[in-house]
Structure 1
């Protein structure tokens, strides 16, 4: 799919990967509705992308885990920008480290990291089937293919995000609906540093597990890879190519991979 002239919705666009993807889309000639729970941040990003107010970027404060707000978001995008052709389910949260997360923390992690994707697809897919095309891009994580040391909430919900994207592609890929799943490792965003700011050993370990596993990319680098993958309609988007080798290693010998992850965790615990 070529994005020029198309309308896209990007969630979690108040900063980080979402803001970078929105910027790349606008630069490529798309009209973009940016959504984020932080209204000030998303309006600021939209203003920077469309300083003259020509309608290439619109910032909206929204909780994209809420079904009603997702519906309002899509309706506004179609009313003010045109039919939505691409949806980037990018908003995400880490949850909490360890097993101490209570039910409300688990519920919020599921709501933001996976149910938001399901709810958006339930609203978009019927419209896209009528039009004969649409593109759904899920931001999961390398944690969704591998795991996340220190954070059960993040690992579990990101695995679910990968699973839903797979199902969506298998079910609707022959009906004009394209699906991609973005699975980066470390990206220099506020989300990456939440663990080390948590004040817990497991939280700090979660951050160090990512930053020590490979290069930490800038959001703009990830956005560049995302747009290239969309042009080729690749399902799995890996800004860190080494994740594919890790995934193959995991699948080749699960017990050996788990033993290796335990050793890695032990080294992190030892500082």
Structure 2
């Protein structure tokens, strides 16, 4: 098999499993987390670092939301079985970078990695992400080139694949749809809330062992109640709306 077909085959395989990379990153991070002492040696100081890392993940979520907010139907989707594209989206954020959702994913997963405060691990994550998503982007662009030909090539010659070029922004044709974001991205917000709640609980468990001698409930702090409680309420409410009503349906999205 020629290398180009082999890379495309690998990319399509990884494309179908791309939603599982958060689990791999989480497992790797949790392996090292018990040995990570509180930042500044105090829980409150460590909480500030945790919230800073959470903000990095929110940057990634913002990039995803900005992308989804302007995306037409059958583009920028969560499809896993096969490549789907009725058109090449060349406006909005796609006039700055060809794979904005993956840029968002990089920062989304970088947040938990930063909790470890370990430069070698962050570099390993970056390399892992690069190797994983490079194949996926190759397969997607292989599909787009075969389907759209010169239209794709013209766009690819102007717009970088992963590192945005902030010149030449083209206003999207569609209006911004907050409904589309809620419908498609509510699991992402809840996911990072769950991850950061879990990370904080693990650190409390291993850095304050005297708390969990009498009861595991002793490690649950007010921060967890408000932070996780909001996330759970938001997730369940939005999921109920998405599954039982058409309130978040938008024509052409």
Higher relative contact order (CA 8 A, sep 6+): 2
Taking structure 2 as the reference length, the TM-score comes to 0.30
The structure with the greater share of residues assigned to helix is: 2
TM norm structure 1 = 0.29
